[in-house]
Structures are given as C-alpha cells and as structure tokens.
Amino acid sequence: MTIKPPRKPLIPGWLLVVLAGLLVFGLGVLASSINERRAESKLARVQFLQPLDEWESDPAKWGVSFPRQFISWESTRDAATRPSFLPESTGDYLAQRPELVVLWAGYSFTKAYNKPRGHYHAVEDVTATPRVDASTPATCWTCKSPDVPRLMARDGVEAFYANSFDHYRSEITNPIACLDCHDPQTMALRISRPGLAEAFQRQGQDVTQASHQEMRTLVCAQCHVEYYFKGKEANHLTFPWDQGLTVENFKQYYERSGHVDWVHAISGAPMIKMQHPDYELSRAGIHAFRGVSCADCHMPYTSEGGLKYSDHGVRSPLMNASTACQVCHRWSEADVRTRVLSIQGTTRAALSRAERVLAEAHLEIGDALSLGATDAELEGVRHQISVAQMYWDYVASSNGLGFHAPQESARILGRAVDLAQECRLETQRIRARKGELRPLEMPDISTKEKAQAFIQPYLEAQKAAAAGK
C-alpha cells in the first residue's frame, strides 16, 4: 500500500488570508456606508425651517421646524399619563400611605408629596407645592425648566445655586422642553446641566464622550437621579456618585461627607432623604444591562404617514405598549400588563411592609427617649433606623414601582426590613432597661390627617428646642 502525498489545497493558505482580509474590508465599507446613510437620513429629517437662538427655551419656536415632536411633547400636559389598572395611579402619596408622615416627621415632605405629572407641568407644580417657601434655594429650579441653562450662563452656576428660588420666579416660565435635551443648532442630544457632567468628571469620565445610545439615557439622567445640595450657603447641586451608584455606595458617600438632610422629630435620628434615583436603580436591571435606553421605552419610535419620529409624549410606556414594548417582546398586550403588574405588586407589598416596620421603629425610639434614654444610649439604634430608611427610600422614591430593576429592588427592601427589625429589637432592650417591658401601643395613623395631627406636638417640641439653643 502506498501512502498518498497530501493533496495540494485548492487555494493556498496565503491566498485564503488575503481573500478573508478583502471580505472583512468589504463588509466594513458596507457597514460604514449603512451607518453614514443612517446618519444622513437622520440629518435629512432634522431640517430647520427657522433657525433657533442659542438659548431658545420656548418649545413652540422649536415646533415650527419639528411639529410632530412638538405636538407629542405637548401631550405631556394630558392628565392620563398612566393606565388606571396599575397601583398608585393617582396623586396624593401621603393619603395612600399615611405611615410616610411618620417616616418624614420634621421634614417638608410631610406637608405634601404627590405623584409626578408630565413634563409640561414641571414649573406649575414646583411653584404650587407647599414644600417651597421663602427659604428655598434657586437650586430647586434646576430640573424644571429650559430657562435654567440661560440663567446659569448669565449669572454663573455658583451664583445661580446661591440665589433664592423667588429671585428667578419671573424669569423661569417654560416647563421641561427641547433645550433641556437638544443642541439648538444641530438637534444633537446634549447635556445641558452641570450636575451630571461634574459627577462624571469626579469619576474620571467625560460625559461628552458618551455614545449615541448612552445619550438616549443620559439626557434623562440629568434630572431622574439622586442628588443633594452641597454647602449651607452654596447649595451646589451634587450627585453622590463618587463611590458608585448602588444604595451601599450612597450610604458610604453620605457617611464620609457627614451630610444630613434633617433630624427626625420623633426618634432624633439623623436622616437622609433620597430624591428619585431612577437612573441609578435602573442600572441594576436587565434592560440597562442589555443596552436598552430610557428613550427606547419612554420615547419609542412612532410612524405617522410613513414618517418615523420619536414620540416625545414622555409618560408610562403602558399607555402605548405596542410601540414601547412589543417591538422587542412578542408578548400580547395582556401579557405585558400582567408582567408589569406582578412586578409592581410584589414591590408594593415589600414597600408597605418596610414602611410599617420603619414607622414602628421611629415611634419606639421616641418612646425610649421619653423613658429617659440618653443620646449616647440611642446612637446605635438611630444610626440603624437612618440606614434602613435610606435603603427603603432608594426604592420608594424611584419611579416605576420596582419595574426598572425588580431583583435589586427586592434585595434592597429585604435589607431595609432586616435593619429596621434589628433596630427595633435593640430599642426594645433599651426600653426594658428603662423598666418598660410592654410593647409600645401604636397610635392611630390610619389617615394622612390623623398622622399629621399625631406628629404635630413633636414638630413643635423640636422647634422650641431649636429656638432655645
């Protein structure tokens, strides 16, 4: 038997490499031409019928060139921005959950706390809330109006923050609109507020380098985030992101900075109020992980007579699940509903449990205080309740009732309940040392009015103590 010499390959190896190289090059050219064509078609759609001023804050002026975006933006005025089959569809959170009045005793949120409305109402709502008064800093305007970038440029960012809210009342009239997210010369997405850019900078990143898909989220992250006012006089709007975006990172940040929002009127605990870390919590969810942007769900592409545009009626995506969800999920509308309802129902149950336990803990610490426990004895439990409530609030103040990151929300709420229960056990020991062995009888706080009346004497005592100092 003879052994055949190996057959010469049909195509020599070197030629294969060259052919493969050509193929890759060809595909690259094709892809880049597709990209360019896409960019072209975008720019073709973006044609100005009338040039815009550098600081044009009136959306109607932008609407001359971009009527579809303008009309859909205007629909954020509508009252129905959320389907009524979901939990907590209506206004007054304090009426729905009176425990909140106890959780925030000593802080302005006990006066009023309503569900957010559409962007169209931002200026109207911030000027109407009783949480705003003569002592409110101008910083509170930052997330409400496209008039803000102009005034920051005119007066300087530091001077803007250091001014009073009242100082700008007559100059801030337009609610959240085009200039908040777009460059008026090119229509490119743009970051118009310093807070986000500064937070990126402190982490060694440059927000102007973000990709197009990231920008479809980051324009929202200018406002839908946790923040605080740094410095008693400066009131510099600051994101506590230096250690990262999780609730543990925030705890670390605030403990290091020593920042406290208020002292609790019943328990005397130093407290932090979360604002609305929508962006941060959503980072932990599957959609962010898979690169889905806020705009994908809240501003989906819509067709009108063959014209495709982004629906600027930012609202609950369940008002239009077919464009918001069903482009990616082949589920029926009923299935989409069921899934969201189930996530939100689970989150609501966990939130309610945490709210009950937190309220009990504050009241028990308050009782220990009235039994003669000293600040030194209470330091540990006050710290525990403060952390537990911050964890709960990270989820509670985030919009969407857990939808953006269901597992992370459940994890954090579980931790909040654990911490609050540990705090209650320790407080029980302190009360026992003071001779009180019976559990504390809970007051009737079953309505907002009853809860507000219940905390009133504590608020007065706190005020009197502060005046006597």
Please select the residue that binds ligand HEC; options are 202, 329, 433, 450, rule is CB under 6 A: 329
Nearer to ligand HEC, 312 or 424 (CB): 312
Structure token pair of residue 233:
């006089």
C-beta separation of 147 from 174 below 8 A? yes
C-beta separation of 222 from 192 below 8 A? yes
Q: Smallest distance from the beta carbon of 349 to ligand HEC, in angstroms?
A: 16
Instruction: From residue 148, give the alpha-carbon distance in Å to each of 138, 142, 222.
Output: 10, 6, 13
- The CA distance from 13 to 438, in Å, is 87
Structure token pair of residue 231:
């410095």
Nearer to ligand HEC, 193 or 362 (CB): 193
- CA 391 vs. chain centroid, Å, equals 14
- Residues with Cβ within 8 Å of 171's Cβ and at least 6 positions away in sequence, in order, are 147, 151
Instruction: From residue 49, give the alpha-carbon distance in Å to each of 56, 64, 65, 153.
Output: 15, 7, 5, 27
Q: Does 423 bind ligand HEC (CB under 6 A)?
A: no
- The CA distance from 51 to 444, in Å, is 61
Q: Does 121 bind ligand HEC (CB under 6 A)?
A: yes
Nearer to ligand HEC, 177 or 417 (CB): 177
- CA 13 vs. chain centroid, Å, equals 57
Q: Which of 39, 405, 381, 373 has its CA nearest to residue 245?
A: 405
Stretch that binds ligand HEC, among 250-258, 275-283, 375-383, 427-435 (CB under 6 A): 275-283
- Residues with Cβ within 8 Å of 352's Cβ and at least 6 positions away in sequence, in order, are 97
Q: Does 281 bind ligand HEC (CB under 6 A)?
A: no
Please select the residue that binds ligand HEC; options are 97, 150, 362, 404, rule is CB under 6 A: 404
Q: Which of 325, 327, 352, 353 has its CA nearest to residue 339?
A: 325
- The CA distance from 69 to 63, in Å, is 7
Q: Does 284 bind ligand HEC (CB under 6 A)?
A: no
Q: Does 314 bind ligand HEC (CB under 6 A)?
A: yes
Stretch that binds ligand HEC, among 18-26, 255-263, 278-286, 388-396 (CB under 6 A): 278-286
Nearer to ligand HEC, 331 or 418 (CB): 331
Q: Does 46 bind ligand HEC (CB under 6 A)?
A: yes
Q: Smallest distance from the beta carbon of 386 to ligand HEC, in angstroms?
A: 26
Please select the residue that binds ligand HEC; options are 101, 102, 105, 122, rule is CB under 6 A: 122
Q: Residue 156: which region, alpha, beta or left (left: phi > 0; alpha: psi -120 to 50)? A: left
- # binding residues, ligand HEC (CB under 6 A): 72
The pair phi, psi for residue 406, each rounded to 5°, is -60, -45
Q: Does 187 bind ligand HEC (CB under 6 A)?
A: yes
- Residues with Cβ within 8 Å of 34's Cβ and at least 6 positions away in sequence, in order, are none
Q: Between residue 162 and residue 181, which ones bind ligand HEC under the rule CB under 6 A?
A: 176-178, 180-181
Q: Which of 265, 311, 302 has its CA nearest to residue 452?
A: 265
Q: Does 310 bind ligand HEC (CB under 6 A)?
A: yes
Q: Between residue 212 and residue 251, which ones bind ligand HEC under the rule CB under 6 A?
A: 216-217, 219-220, 222-224
Q: Does 66 bind ligand HEC (CB under 6 A)?
A: yes
Residue type, 209: Q
Q: Does 399 bind ligand HEC (CB under 6 A)?
A: yes
Nearer to ligand HEC, 103 or 177 (CB): 177
Q: Does 391 bind ligand HEC (CB under 6 A)?
A: no
Q: Does 45 bind ligand HEC (CB under 6 A)?
A: yes
Nearer to ligand HEC, 12 or 116 (CB): 116
Stretch that binds ligand HEC, among 7-15, 149-157, 249-257, 332-340 (CB under 6 A): 332-340
Nearer to ligand HEC, 215 or 265 (CB): 215
Nearer to ligand HEC, 195 or 268 (CB): 195
Nearer to ligand HEC, 240 or 400 (CB): 400
Q: Does 80 bind ligand HEC (CB under 6 A)?
A: no
Structure token pair of residue 157:
């960012």
Q: Does 125 bind ligand HEC (CB under 6 A)?
A: yes
Structure token pair of residue 275:
């604002």
Q: Smallest distance from the beta carbon of 124 to ligand HEC, in angstroms?
A: 7
Residue type, 108: S
